């Protein structure tokens, strides 16, 4: 028997990590990028605070700051979360890490913002008809699929080809 059984409950941050990464995995799947993952890592800090970063494709989705006196989330400065024209990131103060699941919508919004702004490398590939019929990108190489503009079009609900065509 190779399975290990833990007698300890996961820490609050471990629970948050699982919840956040599962939510982002669902969003990536909705965008035709199933199988791709976001990165959740602990950052080094000069203070006693614990700082975590959640990123995808080298872009920060959210930072989590857990200090002795204050806890907050930092999101990229986008209108939907509360933009501030002078800062790269917007802070959302919370009482504890246990509140983070209440902000999953903002985390997903931040991730979608990143996905929508990834550079387009090509309009569509040879699988455009199959993707249209499935209403999602079906390419098996998800790193290749990131650069597909038609994947973004399909995610927006527009279908240009095939049995599901809804654009004239």
Tell me 28's DSSP state: H
Q: In terms of DSSP bridges, do strands 39-43 and 89-94 run parallel, antiparallel, or are they unpaired? A: unpaired
- Is residue 33 located within the same domain as residue 89? yes
In a domain, 129, yes or no: yes
- Is residue 111 located within the same domain as residue 127? no
Q: In terms of DSSP bridges, do strands 39-43 and 59-66 run parallel, antiparallel, or are they unpaired? A: unpaired
Q: Does residue 4 register a pLDDT over 70?
A: no
In a domain, 1, yes or no: no
**If pLDDT is split at 50, 70 and 90, which confidence band does 63 have?**
very high
- Is residue 108 located within the same domain as residue 126? no
Mean pLDDT confidence for 131-145: 89
The pLDDT value recorded for residue 129 is: 93
Reference 111, options 27, 18, 33; nearest CA is 27
Q: Does residue 146 register a pLDDT over 90?
A: no
In a domain, 80, yes or no: yes
In a domain, 107, yes or no: yes
Mean pLDDT confidence for 117-136: 89
- pLDDT per residue over 70-124, tens digit each? 999 998 887 655 555 557 888 889 999 899 999 999 899 999 888 888 888 889 8
Q: Is the Cβ–Cβ distance between 65 and 93 less than 8 Å? A: no
In a domain, 66, yes or no: yes
In a domain, 4, yes or no: no
Residue 113: which H helix or E strand, with range? helix 104-117
- Is residue 66 located within the same domain as residue 26? yes
- Is residue 111 located within the same domain as residue 59? yes
Helix/strand/coil for 135: coil
**CA 66/CA 29 separation, integer angstroms:** 30
- Is residue 160 located within the same domain as residue 128? yes
Number of domain units in the chain: 2
In a domain, 5, yes or no: no
Q: What is the pTM of this model?
A: 0.76
The pLDDT value recorded for residue 82 is: 57
The pLDDT value recorded for residue 116 is: 84
Give backbone dihedrals phi and psi of 28, rounded to 5 degrees, phi first.
-60, -40
- Is residue 87 located within the same domain as residue 136? no
Which of the two residues, 85 and 153, has the higher pLDDT score? 153
Mean pLDDT confidence for 30-42: 89
Query: What tokens appear for 34 in the block?
Result: 């199933």
* Owning domain of residue 61: 12-117
**CA 50/CA 43 separation, integer angstroms:** 8
In a domain, 6, yes or no: no
**If pLDDT is split at 50, 70 and 90, which confidence band does 65 have?**
very high
The pLDDT value recorded for residue 21 is: 94
- Is residue 55 located within the same domain as residue 111? yes
């Amino acid at each position: 028997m190779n399975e290990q059984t833990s007698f300890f409950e996961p820490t609050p941050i471990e629970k948050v990590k699982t919840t956040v990464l599962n939510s982002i995995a669902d969003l990536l799947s909705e965008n035709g990028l199933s199988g791709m993952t976001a990165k959740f890592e602990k950052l080094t800090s000069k203070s006693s605070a614990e700082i975590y970063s959640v990123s995808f494709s080298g872009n920060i989705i959210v930072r989590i700051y857990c200090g002795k006196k204050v806890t907050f989330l930092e999101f990229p400065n986008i209108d939907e979360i509360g933009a501030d024209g002078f800062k790269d990131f917007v802070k959302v103060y919370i009482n504890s890490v246990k509140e983070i699941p209440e902000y999953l919508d903002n985390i997903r919004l931040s991730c979608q913002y990143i996905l929508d702004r990834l550079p387009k490398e090509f309009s569509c590939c040879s699988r455009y008809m199959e993707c249209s019929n499935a209403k999602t990108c079906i390419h098996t190489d998800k790193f290749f699929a990131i650069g597909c503009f038609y994947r973004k079009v399909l995610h927006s609900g527009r279908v240009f080809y095939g049995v599901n065509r809804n654009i004239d």
